[in-house]
Amino acid sequence: MPDAAVPEHPASESTASATAIAVEGLKVHFRTFAGRVRAVDGVDLNVKIGAFHGIVGESGCGKTTLARTIVGLQSPTAGQVRILGRDRAKWQSQDRMSFARTVQFIFQDPLGSMSRRQSVQQTMEEPLRIHGKGDARERRRKIKELLDLVALPVSVLDRLPRSLSGGQRQRVSIARALALNPEVLICDEPLSALDVSVRAQIVNLFARLQAQLNLTIIIVAHDLAIVREVCSAVTVMYLGRVAEEGAARPLFADPAHPYSQALLSAVPSPDPRIEEARSRVLLEGDPPSPLDPPAGCRFSTRCPVAVCECRSIEPTLRSVRHGGRAACHLADESRHPIL
Ligand code: SF4
């Protein structure tokens, strides 16, 4: 069995480039009785190899649909996804096994993604068996290595998933995702089903694994405090579009988009001086329906600093002073800060 830290599949054609995931012009629309839901509506995303990339935004902003489309759990209406330089759709249709060895998805609800009748041992052994990895003894050894990696005792092996705590279940799902030595992990709200006290432990586990195994991780989250803690890059989504993106630390220190500013103003700071000076920006109302997004800037119906042009001209992503980009007419040097 190969060491868990060393991917056993050959480097793909483009690992020399620094891009792990490139999403271009992605649209995911759903037809419903009420009309066309534009869940993702023209998103470009670039995730560097070895990045820990957070995708954040309110519920319904399209972040989960984007993550699911990246791994092929959802079909795009338009646009393209490339992973490690390869067209994701072609890769999956031509060599599903190789794709599964390279890219793994972690679900929000670990219990829902496991068979309730299978023990942890069976759950973890399944991908190894399907991919023909080792004999029974080698697989047992590998499973123990994986348990070690996620800090679980071997005593969990005989247990059923429902008898584990939420944190233990998520550790099992992470261990299973790592069984085939993937290069890319896409995690859909992996912390939302967990108690607050356990979230920090799982976040720290992701951070350790990312560094130890040199993984590229995308994490979809609504908890900005967590993203601020561990992510190297962040994409803020609003109503199916990217509102702002950039390296996490500078963006969190100096957000350019009013929506990001409002989201971040709700995050308590561990620094008592910053916390004391923190002023909260309250957004009024809910996001508009993705069935009928507003004309111009999609945030214009809730933006506290909207001007006339915001209601007729849609802003494109432009460079801002934290080094990333924001889709806001006012997010340039001369008119910043907005709030
Ligand atoms: Fe607000 Fe206008 Fe910027 Fe949109 S473009 S975020 S409405 S200021």
How do residues 220-229 score in pLDDT, each as one tens digit?
988 788 888 8
pLDDT at 191: 87
**Range of lowest pLDDT (8-12, 23-27, 60-64, 103-107):** 8-12
Element (H, E) at 218: strand 216-221
Percentage of the chain modeled with pLDDT above 90? 69
Q: Which residue has its alpha carbon closest to ligand 1 atom 5?
A: 328
CA–CA separation, 213 and 250 (whole Å): 26
| Residue whose CA is at the smallest distance from ligand 1 atom 6 | 328
Whether 7 has a pLDDT exceeding 70, the answer reads no
Gap between the Cα atoms of 104 and 73, Å rounded: 11
Choose the residue to mutate in 244, 284, 307 for probing ligand 1, maximizing ligand atoms within 8 Å of C-beta. 307
Distance of CA 179 to the CA centre of its chain: 20
Ligand 1 atom index nearest CA of 259 = 6
236 C-beta closer than 6 A to ligand 1? no
Higher pLDDT, residue 15 or 65: 65
Tell me the mean pLDDT in the region 6-27. Answer: 65
For the ranges 6-20, 177-191, 232-246, the lowest mean pLDDT is seen at 6-20
For the chain, give the number of residues: 339
Across the beta sheet with 103-106, what order do the strands follow? Answer: 103-106, 184-188, 216-221, 52-56, 233-238, 241-247, 325-326, 318-319
pLDDT value of residue 334: 46
| Residue 329 Cβ < 6 Å to ligand 1 | yes
Q: Is 303 in the pocket of ligand 1 (CB under 6 A)?
A: yes
- For 266-291, what is the mean pLDDT? 80
Beta bridge partners of 28: 40
Q: What is the pLDDT of residue 3?
A: 35
230-263 per-position pLDDT tens digit: 899 999 999 999 999 999 999 998 899 999 999 9
Q: Is the pLDDT of residue 312 over 50?
A: yes
- Indicate the pTM of the whole model: 0.89
The string of pLDDT tens digits covering residues 75-109 is 999 999 999 999 999 999 999 999 999 999 999 88
* pLDDT, average across residues 13-21: 66
Asked whether 183 and 215 are in contact (CB, 8 A), the reply is yes
Distance 189 CA to ligand 1 centre (A): 28
Which pLDDT value is given to residue 332?
67
C-beta 328 within 6 A of ligand 1:
yes
Res 43: pLDDT: 97
Query: Ligand 1, closest atom to CA 304?
Result: 1
pLDDT on residue 4: 36
Q: Flag whether pLDDT at 274 surpasses 90.
A: no
What pLDDT band is residue 6 in, cutting at 50, 70 and 90? very low
Summarised one tens digit per residue, pLDDT across range 142-166 is 999 999 999 999 999 999 999 999 9
Residues 289-311 have a mean pLDDT of 92
For tokens 């649209």, name the residue: 27
- Whole-number average pLDDT of the chain: 88
Confidence of residue 1 (pLDDT cuts 50, 70, 90): very low
What pLDDT band is residue 320 in, cutting at 50, 70 and 90?
very high
The C-alpha atoms of residue 337 and residue 243 are separated, in whole angstroms, by 16
Contact between 238 and 38 under an 8 Å Cβ cutoff? The reply is no
pLDDT of residue 244: 97
Q: What is the pLDDT of residues 121-136, one digit of tens each?
A: 999 999 999 999 989 9
According to DSSP, the residues that pair with 197 across neighbouring strands are none
172, pLDDT greater than 90: yes
